[in-house]
Amino acid sequence: MATTTVGIYGLKEVKDKFSKEKLKDATAKSLAIAVIQLHNSLKSAVFRRYTARNNLDKQLVRRSSIVSFGKGIVESGLIYNVQINDLSKFPTTWYWGNINPADRKGRVHTVTIIRGNKKVSHGKDQRGGFQPRDSRGKVSRIFNKGSQMFERTSSKKLPLRVLYGPNTANMINWALHNDKSVHKVIDALELNIIDNFI
């Protein structure tokens, strides 16, 4: 599984320092507790913005104990497993209509990726994203992949390609660069590391 790492200023210096002396359990625990505050801030920021069921608690790469987690942070940083989200993992609705006026009417699917911002799923080539349905209109599974959202790659029915939304790394990167509450936690964490661990 792919992973993404959150860069934290000062961790390299901590690693360099404790490559020459043993990292004490109490120090590792204190560092882990401080970094968990950043994790909680990222989790809140991602939840406030995005509608996908991304559980950063489950995606956080942890160790068996808080001490080993702290030592892992010094060694490798704050790491998350990346969850890939096709568009069906976000809230979807549909209405009868068409994206291209020349086409016959059908189900036009909408997707809400960012809370309060519902948009039509146009697809990469403006043919429209859709979820395959059975004769009763119920979303059906194809390719043994569950209820994914697809688009056609040409005017023919096949082949199809899956349409994706932002993944875990995209969401975390957005929070790191744009969320003011995350910025405050990062600033406090980095000062904490400089003052207490280096």
Residue 161 has pLDDT above 90, yes or no: yes
Name the band, by pLDDT with cuts 50, 70 and 90, for residue 198: confident
Q: DSSP class of residue 116?
A: T
Lowest mean pLDDT among 22-31, 122-131, 142-151, 160-169: 142-151
Task: Return the residue matching tokens 């406030």.
Answer: 48
Mean pLDDT value of segment 70-85: 94
Listed as own residue / partner, the contacts of 57-66 with beta carbons closer than 8 Å and 24 or more positions apart are 59/83, 59/168, 61/3, 66/29, 66/32, 66/33
Q: Which residues contact 186 (CB under 8 A, 6 or more apart)?
A: 8, 38, 176
The DSSP code sequence of 39-52 is HHHHHHHHHHHB-S
Give the chain's mean pLDDT: 91
The confidence score (pLDDT) of residue 58 equals 94
The confidence score (pLDDT) of residue 101 equals 81
% of the chain residues with pLDDT over 70: 97
Domain residue ranges in the chain:
3-84+167-196, 87-162
Number of Cβ within 10 Å of residue 30's Cβ equals 16
Name the residue with higher pLDDT: 181 or 55: 181
